[in-house]
Amino acid sequence: MSFKKPIQTILLGFALCFCLLVGIGQNPILAATLRETEPIFQEKMQTRSEKTVNLESGVDRFLTSIPTGYYTIANVEGLKNLLKNPQTLLVDVREPSEYRSGHIANAIDIPLRTLGHNLDKIPRDRPVVLYCSTGYRSAMGVMTLHLLGYENVQGFPPSFAGWKNAGEAIASS
């Protein structure tokens, strides 16, 4: 039995939780709640079992085996090459006002906060690329979709800023 897929799912879950917690830290009410539970968390962490250590070792082996560029399209040329395939779906996960002010041609707008409600718009059988303004939201979207079993999704970390700075065409609605 292969453990690669469950470990990938666990890692993506941890990464998504981390991203969400970073965002929660900016909310004083949620941050205070998290601080109140910190002593409980620390106490539980002190009673780690050997299984936890083995899991950490397995996670470490998996993370160090991830190839460079995992789940990403690293540059504008890479995205342009992928977009030559008419089956590729380009998804802008920014807010509608950001999308209307300018976007990459042929991209559809599915704001990150609505991604779970728009899964019917995201195919599982052809390439899907997510982008946002700077890469943060698209990374969360990629992790979320991978947790939901989408194997065909990649992010474009240079995002809209990288596309625009490269002097590429900008579409508007």
**Portion of the chain with pLDDT greater than 90, in percent:** 52
Q: Cβ atoms within 10 A of the Cβ of 66, count?
A: 11
99 or 34, greater pLDDT? 99
Domain boundary among 65, 88, 116: 65
One domain for residues 35 and 93: no
Over 60: is that where the pLDDT of 31 sits? no
- Are 81 and 155 in a shared domain? yes
- How far does CA 1 lie from the centroid of its chain? 27
Encoded tokens for 93: 């996960």
Per-residue model confidence as pLDDT tens digits over 82-133 = 999 999 999 999 999 999 999 999 999 999 999 999 999 999 999 999 999 9
Residue 74 has pLDDT above 50, yes or no: yes
